[in-house]
Chains A and B, each alone.
Chain A
Amino acid sequence: MKQQLKIKSDRYFPVRTITVITIMLSFIAIMSSAFETKEAFTSKDVTNDHIVKDSVESVKAFMQVYKVLMSPRCMNCHPSGDIPLQGDDSHIHTMLPKRGKDGKGLYAMKCTNCHQPENTVGIHMPPGSPAWHLPPSNMKMVFQGRTPNQLAKQLVDPKRNGNKSMAQLLAHADDALVMVGWDPGEGRSLPPMTHAEFKKEWTTWINNGAYAPKP
Chain B
Amino acid sequence: MITLNINKKTYNVDVNPDTPLLWVLRDTLGLVGTKYGCGVAQCGACVVHLNGEAVRSCVTKAKRAEGQKVVTIEGLSENNDHPLQKAWIEMDVPQCGYCQSGQLMSAAVLLRENPNPTDQDIDDAMNGNICRCGTYLRIRKAIHLAAEMKRKGI
Contact = CB atoms under 8 A, between A and B. Distances in A.
Q: Interface range on chain A: under 10, 10 to 19, 20 to 34, or 35 or more?
A: 20 to 34
Interface string A85-126: 000000000111110000000111110111011001010111
Interface string B96-131: 000000000111011001100000010011111100
A109 B125 contact: yes
A13 B61 CA distance: 96
Interface string B1-42: 000000000000000000000000000000000000000111
B42 A107 contact: no
A108 B107 contact: yes
B42 A116 contact: no
B55 A113 contact: yes
Contacts of B42: 94-95
B128 A95 contact: yes
Given A106-B124, A113-B55, A114-B56, A120 B41 contact: yes
Which bracket fits the contact residues of B? 20 to 34
Interface in A8-43: none
B53 A116 contact: no
B127 A96 contact: yes
A122 B54 contact: no
B125 A116 contact: no
A108 B102 CA distance: 10
Nearest to B61: A116
Contact of A114 (B59, B105, B114): B59
Nearest to B56: A114
Nearest to A110: B53
Contact of A126 (B41, B105, B127): B41
A172 to B, nearest CB: 27
Interface of A: 94-98, 106-110, 112-114, 116-117, 120, 122, 124-126
Closest 3 A/B residue pairs (Cβ): A108-B106, A107-B125, A108-B54
